[in-house]
Amino acid sequence: MYMSTENKLFQQFHDEGYVVFKNALNADLLNKLNQQCEQLTDLYMEKYSNIVSCSSRSLRETKDFKLLDFFNNNRNYCPRANRKDIDLDVIKNLFYETRFYSFAKKVLSSEDELVLFQEYSIRSVVPHSFSENITGWHQDASDKNPDLEMVIFWAPISGAETGGLKIIPKSHRLGVVEHSDTPPFYHVKNAILDNYLDGEISLELEPGDCVMFHHHMFHTARANLSNKIRWSIDFRYQTLSQFERKRVGLIL
């Protein structure tokens, strides 16, 4: 039976809980993302200039070199994620990109317009920060917020060698599962997770690619074992009715 590409993707999302779009962000979108990272880099350097010393050389270098050099001996200061300083136009361009927007609309079976969920960020993960601050396995709509419905959008701005996400395909079918607050992360309880870890996959995404996944998908950040910063962007689509009910998010 013939199935359109859109329907195939929809079916895959339904069955597996995610879809990967390869080479889906054009050069203009990627440029805007990179410019945004440059701006955040300058902002971080300005913000921490009283605490962290910086060689004049690094001021002339690329954002990764600058940030790494700057935070080299002070990695704990490097912000792991940013929301408040992001230019919303950058998010808006991606949010309304027809391919992603119409896909999310279909998944959320929404007649109304979609709204940005309150959690969105540009992340900067310094190398070898595995044990400091990286998320554990979790669901975005979890036992703390079981009635949320979202489609999550995640895209790397740096190459796949900087790590990225791991997911457990089909885990969305479990619905909301119990999480644990035991430090260092809020995470799916080990007694549940252990049954599904065999199915984990690493998403090997390059700049230009992105993944969209279900709000019940088990996912976690991978370690950044490269010598570069891992930059990425993530945001969430929600329906207008959820936005009105819960009052969380932004109409772009």
Ligand X SMILES: O=C(O)CCC(=O)C(=O)O
Q: Which residues bind ligand X (CB under 6 A)?
A: 123, 135, 140, 152, 154, 219, 221, 232, 234
Residue nearest to ligand X (CB): 221
Cβ neighbours around 251 below 10 Å, total: 9
Whichever of 228 and 244 has its CB closer to ligand X, that residue is 228
- Give the residue with the Cβ less far from ligand X, 166 or 189: 166
The residue (of 63 and 123) whose beta carbon lies closer to ligand X is 123
Q: What is the rounded CA–CA span in Å between residue 89 and residue 62?
A: 23
Instruction: Give the nearer residue to ligand X in terms of CB position, either 3 or 88.
Output: 88
> Residue 103 or residue 154: which is nearer to ligand X going by CB?
154
Q: What is the DSSP string of the chain?
A: ----HHHHHHHHHHHHSEEEETT-S-HHHHHHHHHHHHHHHHHHHHHTTTTS---GGGGGS-HHHHHHHHHTT-GGGS-SEESTTS-HHHHHHHHT-HHHHHHHHHHTT-SSPEEE-S--EEEEE-TT-TTSS---SB-SS-TTSTT---EEEEEESS-GGG--EEE-TTGGGG-S--EE--TT--EE-HHHHTTTGGG-EE----BTBEEEEETT--EEEPP--SSS-EEEEEEEEEEHHHHHHH--SB--
Distance of closest approach, residue 164 Cβ to ligand X, in angstroms: 7
- Measured from the CB of residue 15, what is the shortest distance to ligand X in angstroms? 21
Nearer to ligand X, 41 or 232 (CB): 232
Residue 238 and residue 115 in contact, taking contact as beta carbons nearer than 8 Å: yes
Q: How far is the CB of 68 from ligand X (least distance, A)?
A: 17
**C-alpha 85: how far from chain center:** 16
Quote the least distance from Cβ 234 to ligand X, whole Å: 4
Q: Residue 2 Cβ, how far from ligand X at the closest point, in Å?
A: 35
Cβ proximity to ligand X: between 38 and 119 the closer is 119
Q: Please report how close the Cβ of residue 1 comes to ligand X at its closest, in angstroms.
A: 35
Question: From the CB of 55, what's the least distance to ligand X, in Å?
Answer: 28
